[in-house]
Structure 1
Amino acid sequence: MRLPKITSLYGRIFAIFWFTMFLVLMAVLSLPHLDPRKARDIPADHYKRLVDITHSIEKKYGREESLAKVLFKLEGGKRSPKDPRPRFFVTDTEGNILTTQDRKNYRYRALQNFITSVEVPGQPQQKLYGHYMVAGPLPVTLAKQDLLLYIGVKWNEPPPFLLRMFDKPFQLLFAVMLVSTPLLLWLAWALSQPARKLERAAKRVARGEFVVDPTLEKGTSEFRQAGTSFNQMVEAVNQMISGQQRLLSDISHELRSPLTRLRMANALATRKQGESPELTRIDTEAQRLEQMIGELLELSRMQVDSHLTREPQPLTSLWEAILSDAQFEAEQMGKALTYSSLPERTITGNPKLLMSALDNIVRNAIYYGKDEINVEISSAENQVLIAVDDNGQGVPEEELESIFRPFYRVSTARDRHSGGTGLGLAITENAIRQHSGTIEAKQSSLGGLRIEIHLPLHADE
């Protein structure tokens, strides 16, 4: 018959617990049958040997006249404790010990305890006292008297394994741990595997990879339920983002059509009536609106598709050309841009987003800086630090955390009259976050704004 497979986490834990308890219980129940310290029947071969010894003693001393002499000969006088020969003890039929030696000897104390602990009087049994085994009683006739004979022998055999375990609690604990450790290791492995799968799936979602993972729905019932819920969440997020993308695409299409007609009508009016400040303002605002729609679509596509293209790229191939071009453009505007040499390191990510992020910040610094821009790129351990400083008017302290919000406008020179749409830094912040990085705005030592970016060099590892 095939046992049912335990698929519940709690079921596995309880199964291991009860299996361990079952082993301990079996050991406890089997101990009385293995423990020689309890009075028990003499094995058949040993019993036959004891009977032969009894007959031999009875034949030798049965007709003696003096019992005291017989006892002295049987006891053998003073003997070494290490003497391996058996020792003989005699009692009357009432259980009173007959001896010519000191009754306070530990062997006689053991004998007295054995006589009182035998459950069935007269039935030969044996019991272990330390390393001394006592067996009896065997009926014997000595000096024409009916007596009982007990035999004691040195027990040199090691005690049974379970007996040693119960005698020493630490050994018992070690044995239980030894038995349960493989089961616990297997349980830990069974728990860690689905947990690690769930962790990897969560990291993929954190990187913007909203992919359903069927392997999450395997394992114990608790992890299967968690994996199913996780996949349902991923599907719901995918549907929500897809709906948002479709909505933005539909809005852009609906806005661009009348916007295109507006610009065509404005061009026709200009051709017909000539240039005028009003028509020029209409054309400028129409262009700004078209730019804003384009940047909104770019931000939306970035949030949805940034995980599709990820590859390792050296920092030099990503940003050296951007910094060189920016330095040339700054010189054309009468400004000085300096940048440090790029570290010989590699980063894994979307090249287009990483290039766009640095390009947006550097061009922003060129635009708002008075005449000095400094770009510092360095690496430490598994991170790359990018710091862009300018000596422009800067941003008020209380607004530094808000400039990365879409459409946020600073109340200084960085306003709508500068020609921006308020989406550049939001797009940059989103690109950095897609690569598990951080971006922060601070007051620059040059007097303007300082943008710091931290990116992991191996985001996918």
Structure 2
Amino acid sequence: MRLPKITSLYGRIFAIFWFTMFLVLMAVLSLPHLDPRKARDIPNDHFDRLIELKSSIEKRFANETDLARVLFQLEGGKRSPRDPRPRFFVTDQNGNLFTTQDHRDFRIRALQNFTTSVDIPDGPKQKLYGNYMLAGPLPITLAKQDLLLYVGVKWNLPPPFLLRMFDRPLQLLFVVMLVSTPLLLWLAWALSQPARKLERAAKRVASGEFVVDPALEKGTSEFRQAGASFNQMVEAVNQMILGQQRLLSDISHELRSPLTRLRMANALATRKQGESPELTRIDTEAQRLEQMISELLELSRMQVDSHLTREPQPMSSLWEVILNDAQFEAEQMDKKLTFSEIPERIISGNPKLLMSALDNIVRNAIYYGKDRIDVDFIEHKQQIVITVDDNGEGVPDHELDAIFRPFYRVSTARDRHSGGTGLGLTITESAIRQHSGRIAAKRSKLGGLRVEISLPLTAQNSSRKVNP
């Protein structure tokens, strides 16, 4: 018969609990049958040996009528406690002991306890006292009297395993831990595996990978339900993002058609009437609106598709050419751009987004800086930290966190001077976030703005050097 598979988490916990309780119950029930300190029936081979000893004693003292002399010879006088030979004790039918030994002796006191705990009609029994085993009573005739014989022997056999465990709490604790540890490890593994799968799936979603994972719907019923709900959430988010993407695409298509017609009409008007400030302004605003639509579409595509084109790249191959070009452009504007050595490390991500993010920040610094721009690369705690400083006017402290919001314009109207749409830093922030990084704006030590980018490096990547 095949046992049903336990698929519930609580079922597994209860199964382990009841199995452990079953082991403890079996140990408790079996202990009395294994405990030699409890009066038990004498094994057959030992009983036969006792009958032989009784018969031998009766034959030896068959003609003796003085019980005192019989007892003296039977007890053998004063013996060493280490004497391995059996000791014989004689009582009457009422359990009164006849002996020439000291009543304070341990063996005498053990015998007195044994005689009161054993019922004679039940037959001979045996019981362990420490390392001393007593057996009896056996009916015997000595000096013409009907007496009872008890035999005591030194017990050299080790006590049963369970008995030793109950006598030594530390050993019992060790055995319980030894038995329960594999069960607990199995339970911990059974709990951790689906939890780790769910954790990895959540990290993928956090990094922008909205992919359904069928492995989440395996394991215990509780985790299967959680995995199914998680996959449903991912599918819902995918549908929402795709719907947003379609909406933006439709809006861009609908807006670009009248924009194109507007610019064509403006060009015809300019050709017929000549250039005028009004027509120039119309064309400028139309171009700005078209650029804004393009940047909105780029931001939307980045949030949806950034995880699809990820690959490991040397950081120098990503950013060195960009920085060299930016350095040349800064020189044409009578400004100085310096950058530190790019670490020879590998970073995994979308090359286009990573290049665009740094390029956008550096070109902003060139545009708004007076005459100095510093770019530094620092490795810190499995991360690459990139700082871009300029000595321009900077951004007010209370607006540093807001400059990454879409369409946000600083109170100093930095973007209006450049004709920007207010989406450049938003696109950069989205690109960095898609790579599980962070971007922050601060007050620069040069007096202008500092933009700090932090991107994670795995342990493998952080220790791998790129061959030049």
Give the structure-2-normalised TM-score.
0.96
> 2:320 & 2:127 partners in 1: Cα distance?
91
SS state at 2:278 partner: helix
How much has 1:385 moved relative to structure 2? 1.3
SS state at 2:198 partner: helix
Amino acid at match of 1:20: T
> 1:356 & 1:337 partners in 2: Cα distance?
18
> 2:143 & 2:73 partners in 1: Cα distance?
12
What does residue 326 of structure 2 align with?
A: 326
Identical amino acids, percent of aligned pairs: 82
Amino acid at match of 2:172: L
What does residue 282 of structure 1 align with?
A: 282
What does residue 168 of structure 2 align with?
A: 168
Find out whether 1:146 has 2:133 as its counterpart: no
What does residue 202 of structure 2 align with?
A: 202
Amino acid at match of 2:201: A
> 2:126 & 2:417 partners in 1: Cα distance?
109
> 1:122 & 1:343 partners in 2: Cα distance?
91
SS state at 1:455 partner: strand
> 2:171 & 2:377 partners in 1: Cα distance?
61
SS state at 2:414 partner: coil
Greater CA deviation, 365-374 or 49-58?
Answer: 365-374
How much has 1:460 moved relative to structure 2? 9.8
> 2:459 & 2:30 partners in 1: Cα distance?
59
Segments ≥4 residues shifted beyond 3 Å: 119-122, 458-461
TM alignment of 1:292-307, pairs within 5 A: 292-307=292-307
Post-superposition CA distance 1:285-317 (Å, at most 9, x none): 000000000000000000000000111111110
Find out whether 1:99 has 2:99 as its counterpart: yes
Amino acid at match of 1:265: A
TM alignment of 1:231-310, pairs within 5 A: 231-310=231-310
Post-superposition CA distance 1:160-202 (Å, at most 9, x none): 0011111112222211111111111111111111111111111
What does residue 466 of structure 2 align with?
A: none
What does residue 191 of structure 2 align with?
A: 191
Post-superposition CA distance 1:140-163 (Å, at most 9, x none): 111111111111111110000011
Query: Compared with structure 1, are the counterparts of its residues 329 and 130 closer, same or farther at alpha carbon in structure 2 (3 Å cutoff)?
Result: same
How much has 1:120 moved relative to structure 2? 4.5
Amino acid at match of 2:40: R
8 Å Cα contact 2:382/2:459 also seen in 1: no
Post-superposition CA distance 1:234-255 (Å, at most 9, x none): 1111111111111111110110
> 1:122 & 1:437 partners in 2: Cα distance?
85
What does residue 352 of structure 1 align with?
A: 352
What does residue 37 of structure 2 align with?
A: 37
SS state at 1:308 partner: helix
> 1:293 & 1:186 partners in 2: Cα distance?
56
Query: Compared with structure 1, are the counterparts of its residues 257 and 460 closer, same or farther at alpha carbon in structure 2 (3 Å cutoff)?
Result: farther
What does residue 56 of structure 1 align with?
A: 56
Amino acid at match of 1:399: E
Amino acid at match of 1:30: S
> 1:396 & 1:371 partners in 2: Cα distance?
20
Amino acid at match of 1:418: S
Find out whether 1:455 has 2:455 as its counterpart: yes
For the aligned residue pairs, the C-alpha RMSD in angstroms reads 1.3
> 1:120 & 1:214 partners in 2: Cα distance?
74
Post-superposition CA distance 1:196-254 (Å, at most 9, x none): 11111111111100000000000011111111111111111111111111111111011
Post-superposition CA distance 1:28-58 (Å, at most 9, x none): 1001111110111111111111111111111
Work out the number of aligned pairs and report it. Answer: 461
How much has 1:415 moved relative to structure 2? 3.4
What does residue 14 of structure 1 align with?
A: 14
> 1:308 & 1:415 partners in 2: Cα distance?
32
What does residue 371 of structure 1 align with?
A: 371
SS state at 2:128 partner: strand
Greater CA deviation, 408-417 or 221-230?
Answer: 408-417
> 1:45 & 1:190 partners in 2: Cα distance?
52
> 1:345 & 1:181 partners in 2: Cα distance?
43
SS state at 1:347 partner: strand
How much has 1:122 moved relative to structure 2? 6.0
Post-superposition CA distance 1:317-368 (Å, at most 9, x none): 0001111111111122222222222111111110000000001001111111
How much has 1:20 moved relative to structure 2? 1.1
8 Å Cα contact 2:120/2:137 also seen in 1: no
> 2:190 & 2:131 partners in 1: Cα distance?
47
What does residue 396 of structure 1 align with?
A: 396
> 2:372 & 2:218 partners in 1: Cα distance?
59
Amino acid at match of 1:99: T
Post-superposition CA distance 1:355-397 (Å, at most 9, x none): 0000100111111112222212222342111111112111111
Find out whether 1:225 has 2:225 as its counterpart: yes
| Structure 2: stretches of 5+ with no match in the other structure | 462-468
8 Å Cα contact 1:348/1:459 also seen in 2: no
Greater CA deviation, 123-132 or 166-175?
Answer: 166-175
Post-superposition CA distance 1:394-420 (Å, at most 9, x none): 111100000000000001140324200
What does residue 411 of structure 2 align with?
A: 411
What does residue 313 of structure 1 align with?
A: 313
8 Å Cα contact 1:349/1:459 also seen in 2: no
Query: Compared with structure 1, are the counterparts of its residues 459 and 48 closer, same or farther at alpha carbon in structure 2 (3 Å cutoff)?
Result: closer
Amino acid at match of 2:245: Q
> 2:310 & 2:346 partners in 1: Cα distance?
13
| Structure 1: stretches of 5+ with no match in the other structure | none
SS state at 1:268 partner: helix
